[in-house]
Amino acid sequence: MKPAGKALEIVAVGLGQAGGNIAAELARRGYRALALNTASSDLGSLGKSGLELPEDQRMYIGVDGHDGAGSDAGYGRECVTVHASQIRERVNEFVGDADVVLLTCGLGGGTGSSVAELVKVLDELSLPIMVLATLPADHESGIAKVNAVRAVNELVKENLLGWVFIDNSRLAQGHSNVGLDRFYLEVNKALVEPLHQLNVLNEREGVVPIRTLDGEDLRTLLLSGGILNVGAKELSALTAESVIEAVRESAQFNPIMPEGFSLESVSYLGLVIEAPEGMLHNTPFSLFEQISEQLKDETGGGAIYLGVYRDDNADQATVRLIASSQSVPEGIQEMVSAAKREGAQMRDKLQQTLSGLDLGEIEEYELFRTSPGATRRRIPEQRSRIAERPASPPRASAKSSKSKSSKSKSDDGEGDAKGEPEKKVETKPEAKPETKPETKPESAPKVITQPKEVAASIPPPGGASAADRETYDNMVSEYKSSESDEIKRQLAERLEADRLSDNSLVRYYAVRAMTKLDTDIFADALQAATEDEDATVRAIASKALSQRA
């Protein structure tokens, strides 16, 4: 059913914080909107600060009560996958028979950047899907840019009916004086306005259509399967040159979109001219023909849709443009270069390990007048106290526990499997002989037993923390990095046990971990998981097995 005052019924489904904010801005303009987020705090804010999206139009899709994806797009994807059937059901009932389902999101964070996964999840509903996605501003981190370019790459491979990319850098340039509290509110108004104006073209008070660009034209333009450029520009004079110049400017330097949109690759172009009566009266009809010819020429034969309106409230002309292109604008290509550069810097940082300070000879200085032995003695005493502490049990998810425990065993040989440390004798060449008896004179030399290897990343059985993504990621990393068959056996055993857990999330994580390891080794377990009562577990196991075949 056609909504009052609008050519097309556009229903927004927002993903992540930016996605929800933009969807809520569309809701303020009378569109139906639904927000999905992995963060309940972000969803809560949609009910406040002038957005007022009702609670039943906000859906939490986080896992395990986590609040947001913390820019981890892998986790964002997982949240969408885990909730696939609920999302499909909710979106299906919510959008009804909308003309356009507009998925809105901000690329850069972890939730919105998983929008391609959302597209996949909705695929079987065969909806008329378009995506409106913001790109991170220049000042944002390498992680945001890497997330964004990966998401763009995934998105353009999806069989969508249209893409709108919004450039947050250009929006920031045009809103640099807006207060922090209102910034996103204001830029979101600016970014939905051009699309909204095209949709209400024929229903505005005081605006008389002379030649209409109707709902069907708009549908064709919006859903033409390309990257869209939507913009508007005011003109003080109405001539063929000024109109063509405005079109070129909107393509090259649109204030809300990535720059460098190529007119040569435009397949569909809609142009609307609005002007007060006096201006239209003084403009010959030949202007219409000239513009049409010129645009056909500049787009290399693109389909041109023209509309003309008399706006009695205006004192100058406005040109509105909507163009769809098959090529990625230069502004996005530039972001790919920035992401490569900044992403590589970030990767290098992560590869650096924390090393001790190189103190050179000051390490050996004696700075006190007490006997040299007294000062030195503190070192072995402290070390032996550390060595006597029982080895702590392996932790479920702390990343550092893995490296610490393996270091203490392999480098120092300080612990056996039961956590009983061997007494250690300071072996530093400079250690004075008198330090030895002071440690524990009565201790008899122990038989050194080979410590039994224990996988450090295995969580305690049945604990609440067991259903934790990071725990299973740690198990995967340890499995991959370990050269010990014993450790691998322990990890595989634990994953197989967790595959039979009563908790469907534990089963999901265990099966997911198997799919990341050797699908041959886990073939039987994966086969059994294809019969799991949980659809997500079945899906992930079947996918892994089909890729193996």
Ligand X SMILES: Nc1nc2c(ncn2[C@@H]2O[C@H](COP(=O)(O)OP(=O)(O)OP(=O)(O)O)[C@@H](O)[C@H]2O)c(=O)[nH]1
What does the angle CA 264 – CA 267 – CA 270 come to, to the nearest 5 degrees?
Answer: 105
Write the CA distances from 468 to 94, 460, 474, 482, 488, integer angstroms. 31, 12, 10, 21, 20
Toward Mg ion, which CB reaches closer, 45 or 262?
45
Interacting residues with ligand X between 161 and 220 (CB under 6 A): 168, 184, 187-188
Residue 393 to residue 145: CA distance in whole angstroms: 39
Q: Give the span between the Cα atoms of 98 and 222, in whole angstroms.
A: 14
Binding window for ligand X (CB under 6 A); candidates: 66-74, 247-255, 424-432, 440-448: 66-74
Count, residues near ligand X per rule CB under 6 A = 26
* Closer of 75 and 268 to ligand X (Cβ): 75
* Stretch binding ligand X (CB under 6 A), from 63-71, 192-200, 412-420, 456-464: 63-71
Host H or E run for residue 304: strand 303-311
DSSP 8-state assignment for residue 361:
G
254 forms part of the interface with ligand X (CB under 6 A):
no
> What is the DSSP-derived secondary structure letter of residue 132?
E
Measured at CB, which residue is nearest to ligand X? 109
Determine phi and psi for 13, rounding to 5 degrees: -125, 110
Which C-beta is closer to Mg ion: that of 39 or that of 160?
39
188 binds Mg ion (CB under 5 A): no
Looking at the Cβ atoms of 144 and 228, the one nearer to Mg ion is: 144
Report the chain's C-alpha Rg in angstroms: 32
String of DSSP letters for 469-503: HHHHHHHHHHHHH---HHHHHHHHHHHHHHTT-SS
Spell out, one character per residue from 89 to 108, where the chain touches ligand X: x when CB under 6 A holds, - when not: -----------------x-x
Q: Does 110 bind ligand X (CB under 6 A)?
A: yes
* Sheet-wide strand order for 226-235: 58-60, 32-37, 10-15, 100-106, 129-135, 162-167, 226-235, 317-325, 266-275, 303-311, 207-211
Residue from 19, 20, 68, 255 touching Mg ion (CB under 5 A): that is 68
Least Cβ distance, residue 517 to ligand X (angstroms): 27
Q: Which is nearer to ligand X, 231 or 302 (CB)?
A: 231
187 binds, among Mg ion, ligand X, none (CB under 5 to 8 A by kind): ligand X
Q: Say how many residues touch Mg ion, by CB under 5 A.
A: 4
- Which bin fits 228, alpha (ψ -120 to 50), beta or left (φ > 0)? beta
| Contacts with Mg ion, residue ranges (CB under 5 A) | 17, 39, 42, 68
Which stretches of the chain bind ligand X, using CB under 6 A? 16-18, 21, 38-39, 42, 68-71, 106, 108-112, 134, 136-137, 140, 144, 168, 184, 187-188
